[in-house]
Structure 1
Amino acid sequence: MERFEKAVQRIINTDWSISKQDLPSHTLLVTEFINRGNVFRDAYCPENKIRKPIYSAALEKVLDAVEVFGQGPIILKDYVKSRKHDWNEACYIPDASNTKKLLKVVKKFVELQGDELNEGLVFKEFVNLEFLSYHPQSGAPLSKEFRIFFLEGKPLITMEYWDEGIYDENKPDLAPFIEIAKKINSHFFTMDIAKVENG
């Protein structure tokens, strides 16, 4: 069986139930990822009770999984990594309803991940963030993002996410993110933050 077929088979064989107590660690990771996303939604959009969930899907369920995004742009990744350095070929889908492009990106993503594919496919809404630069190899748009390292709910260090591009002197106000961090049940974690394009 070739690498692509093995990767697809692993996706199909994954138990997508999150109701069991004895969950495998990868499922716990994704469940926690979704829960943390909802913590942010509650903090910044409390009036928005509609959740656009992060979908994990077997290959034959991809079309159903992305239906909630309508014609909006989406990003594809697995449970741990994206192919952002293969932006147009294996990461970014400008229109979730464009079946031909969607399946082409999914197939390329799974093929490139091969044995490194981490359990399933994750589809996320693409949001335009404050622009920084373009990646020199992939042409992917880079955003003015920061990564905060937390230990016991307190920030240790805040770093510029990208080496490419020139950040200005303005550093983010960490106060609202420290409040959110208090709600995350983990001793050590990172938080990536950025501003949306329109502020």
Structure 2
Amino acid sequence: MILLVPADVLHPRRVDEHFAPEAKAARAVGLEVALVDHDALARPGGAEEAVRRVRGSGSAVYRGWMLTADRYADFAEALLRRGVVVRTSAEQYRRAHELPEWYADLAEVTPRSVWTVGADRGAFDRARVELGGGPAVLRDYCKSMKHHWDEAAYIPDLADADAAWAVAARFRELRDEDMVGGFVLRRFEELAAAEVRTWWVDGECLLVGAHPDTPDELPAGFDLGGAGPLVAGLGVPFVTADFARRADGVWRLVEVGDGQVSDRPRTLGPDEFLSALAKR
């Protein structure tokens, strides 16, 4: 298996510093490491340039910065022309990366959600009315702005149309050209502890650790419960699922992500991480 990692922007023959520990650990367990140009990869039409240093053939896994589903599809096609097959197909990547693709299969263990196609007010208001009154959390198909909680993420009451739209408009402004798909409104649920990030390979949960935002906080008593078969049923080779305990003690699914572009907390060592990945 080949591990594909981003090259350093200033030193293109070196691994990006953020992923260097994983590249080192990959070599230690016998994996080949190849560099890709993330800036080219993120640019429409740049995939061929991005993979020009990839040599060899066979199966590959990407560990790098987030890509849109369209750019990932270009990436997979460019690699295939070089005889390299990514273990996660473009369809599977979109299934894990965009909430509307995974929500139906996991609806029973995650907050109720509705979404729009596009980012105009009319579509937002229709979604707002569909979800009903009360508090909600706003995001797009791939990402929230939780670090701008009061101004661009949390809506205290969906029944207040103008106040809700003010949050949505600020979210749209901050995401700008990076906004994916449309608005997603999720019913707000009070959480009682930090999130847990779980790592799944071929439908099996291989690692449980802290969330990268709270690397030193791993809540006790985590229990997958009925969510395990649902996550496994997504059919994505390498996926992450983030959980948090609700105020009533129930563990709830907060987010799903493609494992290739999900960040690893510093408290989860690269050796343990890559060893788990290489075994599959």
Shorter-chain TM-score: what band?
A: 0.5 to 0.7
Aligned: 1:56 with 2:106: no
Aligned: 1:120 with 2:179: no
The percent of aligned pairs where both chains have the same amino acid is 25
| Residue 32 (structure 1) aligned to one of 88, 92, 101 | 101
Aligned: 1:167 with 2:229: no
How many Å separate the matches in 1 of 2:218 and 2:236?
31
Aligned residue runs from structure 1 range 76-91, under 5 A:
76-91=138-153
Paired positions, count: 154
The match for 1:194 is: 244
Aligned residue runs from structure 1 range 36-185, under 5 A:
36-38=105-107, 40=109, 52-57=112-117, 58-130=120-192, 143-161=193-211, 163-164=213-214, 167=217, 170-174=220-224, 176-185=226-235
State the Cα distance separating 1:77 from its structure 2 match. 0.6
Question: Any conservation in 2 of the 1:39–1:180 contact (CA below 8 Å)?
Answer: no
Deviations 1:3-29 (A, max 9, x none): xxxxxxxxxxxxxxxxxxx9xx58x94
State the Cα distance separating 1:146 from its structure 2 match. 0.4
How many Å separate the matches in 2 of 1:103 and 1:160?
33
How many Å separate the matches in 2 of 1:94 and 1:169?
27
How many Å separate the matches in 1 of 2:132 and 2:189?
14
Q: What SS does structure 1 have at the residue aligned with 2:176?
A: helix
Distance 1:147 1:165, change over 3 A: closer
Question: Any conservation in 2 of the 1:147–1:161 contact (CA below 8 Å)?
Answer: yes
State the Cα distance separating 1:161 from its structure 2 match. 1.5
How many Å separate the matches in 2 of 1:62 and 1:169?
35
TM-score norm. by structure 1 comes to 0.67
The match for 1:10 is: none
Distance 1:129 1:30, change over 3 A: closer
TM-score norm. by structure 2 comes to 0.49
How many Å separate the matches in 2 of 1:161 and 1:150?
15
- The higher relative CO (CA closer than 8 Å, separation ≥ 6) is in 1
The match for 1:136 is: none
Counterpart code for 2:107: N
Question: Any conservation in 2 of the 1:55–1:65 contact (CA below 8 Å)?
Answer: yes
- Whose radius of gyration is greater, 1 or 2? 2
Distance 1:117 1:128, change over 3 A: same
Give the gaps of 5 or more residues in structure 2: 1-90, 250-280
Counterpart code for 1:198: D
Q: What SS does structure 1 have at the residue aligned with 2:190?
A: coil
